[in-house]
Chains A and B, each alone.
Chain A
Amino acid sequence: MSREDYEVVIGLEVHAELSTRTKIFCSCSTEFGANENTHVCPICTAMPGALPKLNEKVVEYAVKAGLATNCSISQDSKNDRKNYFYPDLPKSYQISQFDKPLCNHGYVEIEDDDGNKKKVRILRIHIEEDAGKLNHDEYSSGSLVDLNRAGVPLIEIVSEPDLRSSGEADRYLKKLKSILQYINVSDCKMEEGSLRADVNVSIHKPGTELGTRHEMKNINSFKAIQRAIEYEIDSQIDDAENGKVIQQETMRWDDLEGRTFPMRSKEDAQDYRYFPDPDLVAIKLSDEYINNIKENLPELPESRKVRYMEEIGLSEKDADALVSSRRFSDIFEEAGKICNDYKSVCNWLTSDISRILNEGEMDPEEIPFKAKELAELVSLINDGTISSKIGKKVLEELFKEPRSPKKIIEEKGWVQISDESEIKEVVMTVLEANPQSIVDFKAGKDRALGFLVGQAMKATKGKANPQMLNKMFLEELKK
């Protein structure tokens, strides 16, 4: 078998929790991590007689998301009930949107596997409520239902099956995440489950009909999504090559085992019996309402990128790296403005900070320090208070325990030695200890200077001002 013989077709349904203060249909807090069943009321626990009332911010945020992904906004929308029994769904129906979603037919732009621009079409974006959480305690004989999350607002962003590889899927997801963060409608914290995706994968030979798809539900990390897609592609191609018919199925991705399992059998096929929720009324958005949101939409990553290239003179690669995350881009802008050295800030972000994040498998959102601390670090280097080598150590400290870089270098005694007599003393000591280098230098070996400066840095634990060292060694050597 060969992968090249098949075309892969992937579509994603992305669920993003909206960062409203309260739930979609009641006034309970959406705060993450509260004690079990404390953010609950008669409405989100489906007490008999309780009625939902739609949070205005949910509509606004969904419209923002639609506009930011080039969707047209529906002026005639409604809420529908999706009926099924599950213990995390208190009403036994989820209030969602069926045939009249708030947003239709948009797209986002990504790069395909060859680096060319590609539009991934979005079919629709609709609003709905999240379910509660089932806690499975291995020591208990049952499962326990916590409804704090029941009724937290979600948008579901449904893509067309335009993605052709796990890499494209990954870039699409990252793009969506960054857009949602830019427009401030979701914090997209995957570790808190606020961004999840259902993944549809099928394969077929080019020129033939589309294959039967497998849907994998609720995967909540970028890595897992990529792995799950890779697994499905391999297993479907395997099946196809072995003449096995692929059944339309809902699968569960097991991240530990690294494989998918069928979730339910055909016998209990779902029939959600969607119908308009009679407890809620029509959503009819005026041109004025939509235009107002459009005009106040925050600057999107594409536009920031252009600005960074044109106004600040960054390379496309650097600009791309910065706008890939809202947090990165915000730190860049804020720190650059404070220290008035955008390029240095860019370097820190795209090199050392990115490296530390990668090593720790962290998201930019998890950067613990503030932009002004990074700006201070850059200024301290620029004004010669510390060397860039010490700067890296300061950065590591900032990740460990964020505080003012000035304080850090004071505490640690990292202030750069720029006192002429002190430097002179070091230079003389190093020269005395390395007579061979003097000979080498005089013989025209420039490397010897570097060696001497290195020795001096070592002796001062990196604190000596390297420019001054350089200058003073040269003076002495030329004597």
Chain B
Amino acid sequence: MKISKEELLHIANLSDLKISESEIDKYLENLEDILEYTNVLESASIEELDETIGANDNENVFRKDEIKEFEGRDALLQNAPDLEDDMFRIPKVIN
């Protein structure tokens, strides 16, 4: 599986990661290695099979519509790198 540099950079952009020029080759090599390994799946006989969706066969697991207030709000907000008026501050976003 050959992956182009542009494709790699597009994927990195979707992941909000930056890959520097010097890292590109290494990333491409690693990615191609593992994708090549996944070629073994070509020989799996899966035509008749459904996809596994979720790891178990639980179904209809629901919660009652009852309010339960979380009591650790302050501890939760304390982790914020930049908090103002109990809100998370970010660079100005113009909508």
* Residues of chain A at the chain B interface (Cβ within 8 Å): 20-22, 27-29, 35-38, 40-42, 45, 47, 53-57, 59, 78, 85, 87, 134-136, 140-147, 252, 268, 271, 273, 276, 278, 280-285
Contacts A37-B77, A40-B73 given: A57-B92 contact, CB under 8 Å?
Answer: no
Docked-complex contact B73 and A38, CB < 8 angstroms: yes
Docked-complex contact B59 and A283, CB < 8 angstroms: yes
Contacts of B90 in A (CB 8 A): 87, 134, 142-145
B39 to chain A, nearest CB (A): 22
Contacts of B13 in A (CB 8 A): 268
Give A56 to B65 CA distance when docked, in angstroms. 7
Q: Is B84 an interface residue (CB 8 A)?
A: yes
Number of interchain pairs (Cβ within 8 Å): 121
Give A364 to B68 CA distance when docked, in angstroms. 33
Chain B positions 1-42 with a Cβ under 8 Å from a chain A Cβ: 13-14, 16
Among A29, A59, A135, A282, the residue within 8 A (CB) of B67 is A29
Give A134 to B84 CA distance when docked, in angstroms. 13
Contacts A29-B69, A281-B58 given: A54-B63 contact, CB under 8 Å?
Answer: yes
Give A20 to B53 CA distance when docked, in angstroms. 28
Docked-complex contact A54 and B85, CB < 8 angstroms: no
Give A85 to B12 CA distance when docked, in angstroms. 13
| Chain B residue at minimum C-beta to C-beta distance from A48 | B79
Give A59 to B65 CA distance when docked, in angstroms. 11
Known: A54-B62, A56-B64, A285-B60. 5 other contacts (CB 8 A): A22-B66, A142-B92, A143-B92, A146-B87, A278-B55
Give A57 to B66 CA distance when docked, in angstroms. 10
Among A53, A78, A145, A282, the residue within 8 A (CB) of B63 is A53
Q: Is B45 an interface residue (CB 8 A)?
A: no
Q: Could you write out 25 A-B pairs with CB less than 8 Å apart?
A: A20-B65, A21-B66, A22-B65, A22-B67, A28-B67, A29-B69, A36-B85, A37-B77, A37-B87, A40-B76, A41-B70, A54-B61, A55-B63, A59-B62, A85-B16, A136-B92, A142-B84, A142-B92, A143-B93, A144-B88, A145-B87, A281-B54, A281-B61, A282-B58, A283-B60
| Chain B residue at minimum C-beta to C-beta distance from A47 | B76
Q: Is B56 an interface residue (CB 8 A)?
A: yes
Contacts A27-B66, A35-B86 given: A45-B95 contact, CB under 8 Å?
Answer: no
Contacts of B64 in A (CB 8 A): 56
Docked-complex contact B67 and A134, CB < 8 angstroms: no
Give A257 to B69 CA distance when docked, in angstroms. 42
| Chain B residue at minimum C-beta to C-beta distance from A271 | B14
| Chain A residue at minimum C-beta to C-beta distance from B93 | A143
* Residues of chain B at the chain A interface (Cβ within 8 Å): 13-14, 16, 53-56, 58-70, 72-73, 76-77, 82, 84-95
Give A351 to B86 CA distance when docked, in angstroms. 48
Docked-complex contact B86 and A142, CB < 8 angstroms: no
A250 to chain B, nearest CB (A): 13
Contacts of B65 in A (CB 8 A): 20-22, 55-57
Residue in B59, B62, B69 with the greatest tally of chain A CB atoms within 10 Å: B62
Contacts of B94 in A (CB 8 A): 136
Contacts of A54 in B (CB 8 A): 61-63
A145 to chain B, nearest CB (A): 4
Give A271 to B13 CA distance when docked, in angstroms. 11
Docked-complex contact B87 and A135, CB < 8 angstroms: yes
Contacts of A29 in B (CB 8 A): 67, 69
Among B58, B60, B69, B93, the residue within 8 A (CB) of A134 is B93
Give A151 to B16 CA distance when docked, in angstroms. 23
Docked-complex contact B68 and A27, CB < 8 angstroms: yes
Give A85 to B77 CA distance when docked, in angstroms. 20
Residue in A47, A59, A282, A285 with the greatest tally of chain B CB atoms within 10 Å: A282
Docked-complex contact B85 and A134, CB < 8 angstroms: no
Residue in B67, B68, B77, B88 with the greatest tally of chain A CB atoms within 10 Å: B88
Docked-complex contact B53 and A276, CB < 8 angstroms: yes
Contacts of A40 in B (CB 8 A): 70, 73, 76
Docked-complex contact B95 and A134, CB < 8 angstroms: yes
Give A283 to B53 CA distance when docked, in angstroms. 12
B35 to chain A, nearest CB (A): 17
Give A37 to B53 CA distance when docked, in angstroms. 34
Question: Which 9 pairs show the lowest CB-CB distances between chains A and B?
Answer: A41-B70, A56-B62, A144-B87, A27-B68, A145-B88, A57-B65, A281-B58, A282-B59, A53-B63
Give A160 to B87 CA distance when docked, in angstroms. 39
Among B14, B76, B87, B91, the residue within 8 A (CB) of A36 is B87
Docked-complex contact A27 and B67, CB < 8 angstroms: yes
Contacts A85-B16, A136-B95, A282-B59 given: A42-B54 contact, CB under 8 Å?
Answer: no
